[in-house]
Structures are given as structure tokens and as C-alpha cells.
Structure 1
Amino acid sequence: MEKQADTIVQTLKSKGLRVTPQRFAVYSNLLNRQDHPTAEQILISLNQNSPTSSQATIYSSLQALRDVGLVREVLLEEGVCRYDANVASHHHFRCNKCGSIEDIDWEQVEGISFKNIRSGLTVDKYELTVRGVCDRCGD
């Protein structure tokens, strides 16, 4: 646990961020979960034992982490912003029944072509959201 804490501190410093307890807590929380939480879910998780963070603090910490490339925003549903500490290129699977979200490795998706898109458009980045039913909800 202490090694992970040292790694988080060094990572924040290497990106030029001041290491505040709130940034540390938000980043640590995201690194230790796979569910792509909303800011509200992060707030609830961090304040579970004793309320110490406000919603504004969570949002400003997430923005700082996003701005230096340690966290990315994931928009998988209209009007809901989720956060992910996995900033490597990957796609997402979202279950239509339970709403769970899972990462799909970039290399697992083949055959994407942009050669027939409208002239004048230049693709420099893309991400897929695959929807279906997960094995926990399957019939």
C-alpha cells in the first residue's frame, strides 16, 4: 500500500501537479476501480467513512487530473460523464441490462476503416462503445 502511495505521489509530481490530499484520494480511488465512476460516485466512495470532500473539490481534482492526461472522461450515455484512470487507447462494452462497463483492449477490435468518410474530414482519434448483454445478465 505504501509503495502504491509513493507511486501516486511521484506520478502527480511528474505531471507538475501539487499533491493535495484530495487529488491523491481521487486518483487513488480511480486507479483502484474498474467501473468508470461518475464524479458523484467518487464523492460517495471517498466520503463513505468520514465526509472530507465536497462535490466542487472532486470536480476540480478530476479536471486537474484530466488536464495533465492522468484521467480521461468517458461519455457512454447522454448527459453522464464517467472517469477512467486507464488512459491507454481502449474501447468500452456497456451492458444494456445492468449498466456495467468493461474495457475492451484496443487490439481486440479489428476492421475499422475510415476510407469512405466524407471528404474534408480527418480522423485522428476514435473510441468505440459496444453495447449488448454481459455474461452476468445473459439469458
Structure 2
Amino acid sequence: MSAERLHHAVEKLKHNGIRMTPQRRAILSYLMETITHPTADEIFKEIEPEYPNMSVATVYNNLKLFKEVGLVRELTYGDVSSRFDGNMSDHYHCICTICGRIVDFDRPPIARLEQEAQQSTGFLISSHRLEFYGTCDLCEKAEH
């Protein structure tokens, strides 16, 4: 994890009048370090041993706060639990249809496609989401 990214996130929270608690820092730090796109429950299970008095509600409340401030992205896929991404750069995802694993697919955003959609529909396009679905390497190996 880049200490600079964490520092920037902490400063953004301070700028928004949000104080930094040890639990909040632990949740934020975990999200900045991981590339696994965890659920709130997974985050709770990872950091709970360090903070045994913390509740899962604390994790949910902080994730909501981080999302509102623009520090994390919530990834929703139908009925499956939301997953959270601490990487706010424009990037795409590959999602395993068997285990639900999500992997970043870092490519430049397709800005031209947004412009075409805007011209074609008259919408003022603010963003887009592109996802690729298939079987991850781990599930593929398990099947053979």
C-alpha cells in the first residue's frame, strides 16, 4: 500500500470534518492494501482480531461514509453482497461467475464510447461501468 494514498485519504476525511478513529483507520488501511474487493463481512473478519470490541455495524457505517466522501467504490452485482474497492482510478473488472471473485482489469477508460453514447442519446454521460464475466483461473483449475 502506498503510504501516500492512505495519507491522502486521511486528509480528505479531515477536510470533510471526519475524525480519524483507530477502527476507521484500520478499515481504510485494509481497503487501500487489498486487491480482493472484499465484502463488509470479510473486512470485519480480517480486522476484528485487532479490534475485538468493534461491531460489523461499525464496518458498514464506515464504508458508507467512505463511499460518500469518495474514498471507496461500492460494487453491486445482483443479489450478491456488495463488494468494496479502494482503488478509485478508472478501471474495469473481471468477475468469476462461479466463485464471485473480482479482479481488476487496468486499461485506459473508453472515453470515446462515452462521447458516442452522449451524442447518440442526448444523455449527459457522467460515467460508465464495463465488466467481463467468466471463470477465474482458480475455479478453472478446480474443474479439471
Q: In 2, Cα distance between the equivalents of 1:78 and 1:46? A: 25
What is the Cα deviation at residue 42 of structure 1?
0.7
- Structure 1 residues 109 and 137: alpha-carbon distance in aligned structure 2, compared to 1, 3 A threshold: farther
Q: Which amino acid aligns with 1:114?
A: A
Query: Within 5 A, what are the aligned runs for 1:20-35?
Result: 20-35=21-36
Q: Report the equivalent of 2:46.
A: 45
Q: Is the 8 A contact 1:93 1:130 kept in 2?
A: yes
Q: Report the equivalent of 1:132.
A: 134
Q: In 2, Cα distance between the equivalents of 1:116 and 1:11? A: 35
Q: Report the equivalent of 2:6.
A: 8
**Range 69-78 or range 45-54, more displaced:** 45-54
> Normalized per residue, which structure has more helix?
2
Q: In 1, Cα distance between the equivalents of 2:111 and 2:69? A: 30
Identity of aligned residues (%): 32
What is the Cα deviation at residue 128 of structure 1?
1.2
Q: Which amino acid aligns with 1:133?
A: T
**Range 126-135 or range 9-18, more displaced:** 9-18
Q: Which amino acid aligns with 2:24?
A: R
Q: In 2, Cα distance between the equivalents of 1:79 and 1:98? A: 11
What is the Cα deviation at residue 106 of structure 1?
3.5
Structure 1 residues without counterparts, runs of 5 or longer: none
